[in-house]
Structure 1
Amino acid sequence: MATRLATDPCYATGLAAQVAGFLLAFYARETLPVYLVQAAACAAVGVAAVIGAIALGWRVTRAEVAVLAVLTVALALLAGAAQPSRVAAVPQATGWVLTALLAACLALVPAAWRARGAVPLAGLAGTAFAVLAVASRPLPSLEWPALPTHPLSWLTLASAALGQVLLAAALQRGSTTSAGAAMDAVTMVVASAAGIALVGDQIADGRIPWFVVGLVLIVAGVLTMARVGTVVAECPRRIDAALSDHPIPQGHIR
């Protein structure tokens, strides 16, 4: 199973793009709050729809266009609410809280594996990626020689590895859209709350309503896109075909 995914050109390309996105998001968090960076990452589902329509001939429905408009408004609201700041250091307790959250995520994997569908595993993947987002917030402000020995660096790598494994497992059990939407929604909510509570992400004065409305819209937009999105690319079909002889039920790629 893992070998087939690793050798599939579409999955390999997607993984490479995800690594590139991680690096860009890593440096963006040097001055931007976690909630804004994660909102941009969640809105990537809209970018994917546009690229798919242009390059792969996907049919973009009116409902999808409406969702893209909602995501655009949400990003504008969150960008307006964001208060740029640098986080050079966090209390030691922050690292322990994030470690406990990742440990709880790992402990719930057996239960999520026994559950039906992709959502439980995707939700845990989202939690792991939320830990990654918050743990990596102070790292870009550090000198490069300090990164290998910093505890948050190792926590970032551990959460990235766990999140990627859980996402791959979720993709075996359900459609790309449902797994991705569940993961993004959980990541957005958990990372936003943890970023404000644990690493001091700030909201501009008088812009809390902008933040709340933007957060609600971005989560609603991602979840709605999973329901109305039309994905007709050939690569996801090849992944499903490669995994079709496994006993895990396969989702329908819409």
Structure 2
Amino acid sequence: MTGYLELAASAVLYALGIVAQSIASRRAEGGVGGLGLLARLARDRLYLLGFAGQVGGFALAFLARAELPLYLVQAGSSCAVGLATLFGIAVLGWRVRAIEVVVLVVMAAGLVLLVAAATPSAAHDVPQGLGIVLFGLPVVALVLVQRRVGGVVPLAAAAGLAFAVVAMTSRTLADEPLPTLPLYPLAWLMIVAALVGQSYLALALRRGSATSTVATMDATTVVLTSIVGIAALGDRISPGREWWVALGVALVVSGVLLLGYADRFTKAPAEVAR
């Protein structure tokens, strides 16, 4: 039960972080991108507040991965984009449309299916050397091609790939004693992947709305982690409910993508807040 509570609290913190980071990123002045943009945003208190929400959300999701499969944890975290929309409606005065209500219901239905199908389990141990190679290659590639990536969708998808690496490495480490984590090379790779993901996310948020950007990023992360988690990391499903997971993941991913698509036709959240 603890893992489910950690996952719920994680989604709330992620949602608050999405709203704060999007507003701060879009009001940043033009100029250098990538890690340079992160350095400039580090002086913005609102961005730091959003980053703190992301860190808190990650810490709780990390703890949840010790007993919950990736397909559930990442789907639950991706629902933060829906919570961010609800927060914007309630606090910032964003307008709600019928399609957004439908999408939020679809996402909630998908999450219910995943909760019902999930079986708590510890992840398979991945040898540190093999893990560094398999999980490190995508991170190195993302660093090398960052200057060549343009457009909101490719940037958001790249952020999703980086955060998928974060999720997969943390799934293998989450059941280890916290004081020993600095001794694992995969833990340091996890931190590097998180920074790379943040840099791509900051770039994407400058060029697109928070909802559509995070929707693309989360859809990428959910699909990748669900496949790898079940195929290689020991994520388990209740017997006879495999199709529940397939349908649940499909509903959550469809929901976040539809929410992002619908957001393209209205003012972006950060633009409303300015």
TM-score interval w.r.t. the shorter chain? Answer: 0.7 to 0.9
Which of 147, 153, 160 is equivalent to 2:194?
160
**Count of aligned pairs:** 235
Give the drift of 1:4.
Answer: 4.7
Distance across 1 between alignment mates of 2:133 and 2:109:
36
Indicate if the aligned counterparts of 2:167 and 2:225 stay in contact, CA closer than 8 A.
yes
Q: Which runs of 5+ in 2 are unaligned?
A: 1-30, 32-36
Q: Displacement, 1:88?
A: 6.4
Are positions 1:225 and 2:262 aligned together?
no
Q: Distance in 2 between matches of 1:94 and 1:205?
A: 29
Please, which of 70, 93, 98 is the counterpart of residue 135 of structure 2? 98
Unaligned stretches of 5+ residues in structure 1: 239-254
Q: Deviations over 1:64-102 (max 9, x none)?
A: 100000000010111122111012622343442111222
Given that 2:121 and 2:236 are in contact with CA atoms closer than 8 Å, whether structure 1 keeps it comes out as yes
Question: What TM-score do the two structures reach when normalised by structure 1?
Answer: 0.85
Deviations 1:149-173 (A, max 9, x none): 1011011101101100111111222
- Tell me the residue number matched to 1:8: 44
Superposed, 1:66-145 pairs within 5 Å as 66-87=102-123, 89-92=125-128, 93-112=130-149, 115=150, 117-145=151-179
CA displacement at 1:212 relative to structure 2: 0.8
| Structure 2 equivalent of residue 248 of structure 1 | none
Structure 1 residue matching 2:96: 3-state secondary structure: coil
Determine the C-alpha separation between the residues in 2 that align with 1:35 and 1:225: 20
CA 201–51 in structure 1, closer or farther in 2 if over 3 Å, else same: same
The aligned runs of 1:186-205 (5 Å cut-off) are 186-205=220-239
**2: distance between equivalents of 1:105 and 1:203?**
32
Q: What displacement does 1:50 show? A: 1.5
Letter in 2 for 1:158: V
Return the letter of the residue paired with 2:141: A
Deviation, 1:232, is: 6.3
Greater CA deviation, 46-55 or 1-10?
1-10
How far apart in 2 are the matches of 1:42 and 1:22? 12
Higher helix share: 2
- Aligned-residue CA RMSD (Å): 2.0
Q: Distance in 2 between matches of 1:177 and 1:109?
A: 22
Deviation string 1:126-147 (CA, Å, 9 cap, x unpaired) is: 0000000000012221123321
Question: Paired residue for 2:73, among 18, 33, 37?
Answer: 37
Q: Which residue of 2 aligns with 1:184?
A: 218
1:138 match: secondary structure: helix
Q: CA deviation at 1:13?
A: 2.2
- Larger deviation, residues 88-97 vs 202-211: 88-97
**1:243 aligns to what?**
none
Percent identity between the aligned chains?
46
Q: Distance in 1 between matches of 2:112 and 2:68?
A: 14
Alpha-carbon distance in structure 1 between the residues aligned to 2:88 and 2:125: 41
Aligned residue in 2 for 1:54 = 90
Aligned counterparts of 2:45 and 2:252: Cα–Cα separation in 1: 30
Tell me if the contact between 1:10 and 1:235 (Cα under 8 Å) persists in the aligned partners: no
Q: Which residue of 2 aligns with 1:242?
A: none
Whether the 8 Å CA contact 1:67–1:221 is kept in 2: the answer is: yes
Give the distance between the partners of 2:233 and 2:272, measured in 1 at CA: 37
Q: Deviations over 1:185-239 (max 9, x none)?
A: 111111111222231111221111111111111111001101224566567754x
Task: Provide the C-alpha distance between the structure 1 equivalents of 2:138 and 2:199, rounded to a whole number of angstroms.
Answer: 17
Tell me if structure 1 keeps the 8 A contact 2:210–2:270. no
